A and B are shown apart, each in its own frame.
Chain A
Amino acid sequence: MSSSIGLESLVDQTISVITNDGRNIVGVLKGFDQATNIILDESHERVYSTKEGVQQLVLGLYIIRGDNISVVGELDEELDSNLNLSELRAHPLKPVIH
């Protein structure tokens, strides 16, 4: 098998996942596999809208199927704490169109 660039380095770190339907889920990476299926602990969804600031919905322990994942980002805690989410307004991300 050719070298797989797994997510080993992100395990137990806070990550931000963007799904194919445009949702943004933040949580602690607990596990993953070859198909990028992901286990997230203490996760919450950040809901973006233009009408009000970012809403955070508590989700808890989540498994996200790899097919449905676009981007997995390492969340920089310092940058994230500087964000003022309640003032941040934006259109929700568009869904992926294959």
Chain B
Amino acid sequence: MANAKRWTPLFRNKRGLFFSRRIRGFSFPRNENEAKKMLFFSYFKELVGKQVTVELKNDLAITGKLHSVDQYLNIKLENTRVVDEEKYPHMMSVRNCFIRGSVVRYVQLPPDGVDIEILHDATRREARGG
């Protein structure tokens, strides 16, 4: 009984209530949408250290080395430069920045950052539902 306390309910279906030991630093995707996002989260994690250009929904484009990504697809860039600094001098004294995932329009990748085969496989697997 003392041991049971360490198990937390995970989900319930026709066959009953399922329990799982929580794994530190990991949680299962709770729904389909979250699972889909996990794919791109993993994908962006592979790109850490590469040079990318992030275009925002206010037309600002920022180039820099990808430092990290999180589950919201927030992005941290190092050694950043705004693409059109003449037009957008607003970030001239910023060299490291955090970009909120919700304002990202595009992420321009280095050519060697795209392995189409892997992405194809992963997206097809998800489209089939697992």
A70 and B93 contact, CB distance less than 8 A: no
A74 and B25 contact, CB distance less than 8 A: no
- Name the B residues within 8 Å of A93 (CB-CB): 58, 60, 88, 90
Residue among A16, A24, A83, A91 facing the most chain B CB atoms (10 A cut-off): A16
A79 and B92 contact, CB distance less than 8 A: yes
Which range contains the number of B residues in contact with the other chain? 20 to 34
- Name the A residues within 8 Å of B26 (CB-CB): 2
B93 and A83 contact, CB distance less than 8 A: yes
B98 and A5 contact, CB distance less than 8 A: yes
With beta carbons under 8 angstroms apart, the residue of B25, B88, B93 that contacts A75 is B93
Chain B residues with a Cβ under 8 A of chain A: 25-27, 41, 56-60, 62, 67-71, 74, 76, 80, 87-100, 102-103
Q: What are 22 contact pairs spanning A and B, CB under 8 A? A: A1-B27, A2-B25, A2-B26, A3-B68, A5-B67, A5-B76, A10-B98, A18-B91, A24-B90, A48-B89, A70-B60, A70-B100, A71-B62, A71-B97, A71-B100, A73-B80, A79-B95, A88-B89, A90-B88, A96-B56, A96-B57, A97-B57
Chain A residues with a Cβ under 8 A of chain B: 1-5, 7, 10, 16, 18, 20, 22, 24, 36, 46, 48, 66-67, 69-76, 79-80, 82-83, 88, 90-91, 93-98
